[in-house]
């Protein structure tokens, strides 16, 4: 898969996290946010972070491989 496509997928996932963060903030302002709401949105943010890290590491490894040739 081209890197740009992987980045687009990450952007899509991050947009969902951003939207959910705003929703939880609104719930919190109305004193209706549960702990589970914060847990869920942080879990999703963590997932995007892990995918981003994996992509960065994959590209770094490829860089190192090319440099070693």
Provide the binding-site residues for another protein, judged by CB under 8 A.
1-4, 7-8, 10-11, 14-15, 17-18, 21-22, 24-25, 28, 33, 35, 38-39, 41-43, 45-46, 48-49, 52-53, 55-57, 59-64, 66-67
Task: Please report how close the Cβ of residue 8 comes to another protein at its closest, in angstroms.
Answer: 6
Contact predicate 14/48, CB 8 Å: yes
Q: Which residues lie closer than 8 Å to 48 by C-beta, 6 or more apart?
A: 10, 13, 14, 17
Contact predicate 24/38, CB 8 Å: yes
Task: Please report how close the Cβ of residue 13 comes to another protein at its closest, in angstroms.
Answer: 10
Task: Please report how close the Cβ of residue 16 comes to another protein at its closest, in angstroms.
Answer: 11
């Amino acid at each position: 898969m081209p890197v740009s496509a992987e980045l687009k997928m990450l952007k899509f996932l991050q947009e969902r996290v951003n939207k959910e963060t705003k929703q939880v903030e609104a719930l919190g302002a109305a004193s209706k946010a549960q702990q589970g709401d914060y847990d869920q949105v942080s879990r999703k943010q963590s997932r995007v972070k892990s995918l981003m890290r994996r992509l960065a590491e994959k590209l770094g490894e490829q860089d190192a491989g090319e440099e070693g040739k």
